[in-house]
Amino acid sequence: MDDDLIRQVEEKFPFVANEYAKNLAAKSIAFRKQMELDVRELDDEDDFSEDPFGEDGEANCCLGLKQRFPDRVLIMASNACFMNCRHCTRKGLLKHADVVRTDEELSDCLIYIREHPEVRDVLISGGDPLVLPDDEVMRFVDAVSSLEQVEVVRLCTRALSVNPSRITDELAKRLGQNQKVWVNTQFNCADELTQEAFDACQRLVSNGVLVSCQTVLLAGVNDSAEEMLKLFRALQRAKVRPYYVFVCDPIAGISHFRVPLEKAIAIEKECAEKIGGLGLPRFVADVPGSKRKVPISELD
Ligand code: SF4
């Protein structure tokens, strides 16, 4: 590979991976593709931008708080991750993202939420909030859940698939003690459901934390019904609810992961024929300006 081009890729979105991810990548091609730099990330896609959802624009309501839908907001608790997924929706934004750090910044977020009583669901996200120490994670969780109007606090993390030992008994217990906490995670192929990952899911589940999975449909990783079904079945064994499969967002730098719409629809149809409803996520697209996640069968 051309060193200069790879350097350009690194400048745009650096390579980051912990030891666990590197070891898993050595065993799984499907996982490795999510971690490895690819010169095709430089392909410019005229129709795509770094910020199609206006997270740095109209959706940015106060420092580190984004709102795109009336009933939910997202708080940026970190701009770092255990691994930089090459397909990340925020790959162009993370480097310079505003992150909530001080008590005053967190308090401003709470003020915003109180001023918007229709907000009932708060995502603590990033980046990955679990790169923070437990006390810091709980500072966000406790502050947000203390608001009566907030009924759901979603901790969005890829730790389960890229750093499962981060889910310690102690952390799982503390999260489980808060009745509002859900964990949203991302597994993209069955190889990611290692024994360590399975055990980490169990620690959360046995402490009363519901875990849901959002998968991204990625060319060369999971773009067949067979691979998807393997994943959904493994998730169900781990008592993780397969929740959404997203087609790639309209962001620049991920063209090599895009799956043609007809193929995505065919994968969804075949999965629906072969697994029961509890194991079948909704295949959707996040469409800029839309008030909902759009089923792929409705896309042009
Ligand atoms: S863990 Fe999430 S936020 Fe971090 S790089 Fe991967 S997809 Fe992006």
Q: Give the integer Cα–Cα distance in Å for 85 and 81.
A: 9
Using CA atoms, how far apart are residues 261 and 157, in angstroms rounded to an integer? Answer: 27
Which residues of the chain are modeled with pLDDT < 50? none
pLDDT value at residue 250: 87
For residue 200, what pLDDT is reported? Answer: 98
Nearest CA to ligand 1 atom 7: 88
Choose among 83, 78, 79: nearest CA to 20: 83
- CB-CB neighbours of 29 under 10 Å: 12
- The pLDDT value recorded for residue 55 is 82
Q: 158 CA to middle of ligand 1, Å?
A: 7
In 3-state terms, what secondary structure has residue 244?
strand
Distance (angstroms) between ligand 1 centre and the Cα of 69 equals 21
What pLDDT is attached to residue 143? 98
Atom 3 of ligand 1, nearest CA residue? 127
Q: Write out the two tokens for 74.
A: 């997202």
Q: Which atom of ligand 1 is nearest to the CA of 126?
A: 3
Q: Write the pLDDT tens digit of every residue in 62-93.
A: 999 999 999 999 999 999 999 999 999 999 88
Residue closest via CA to ligand 1's atom 1 equals: 158
User: Domain extents for the chain?
Assistant: 3-214
Give residue for tokens 């730098």.
253
Q: In this predicted structure, what is the pLDDT of residue 45?
A: 65
Judging by DSSP bridges, how do beta strands 294-295 and 282-285 pair with one another? Answer: antiparallel
Report the b/e string of 49-77 with b at 16+ CB within 10 A. Answer: eebbbebeeebbbbbbbbbbeeebbbbbb
Find the 1 Cα to ligand 1 centroid distance in Å. 25
The closest residue, in CA terms, to atom 6 on ligand 1 is: 85
> What residues does ligand 1 touch, defined as CB less than 6 Å away?
81, 84-85, 88, 90, 126-128, 158
Ligand 1 centre to CA of 127 (Å) is 6
Q: Which ligand 1 atom sits nearest the alpha carbon of residue 82?
A: 1
Topology of the domain comprising 3-214: TIM Barrel (3.20.20)
Residue 84 alpha carbon to ligand 1 centre in Å: 6
pLDDT at residue 3 in the model:
86
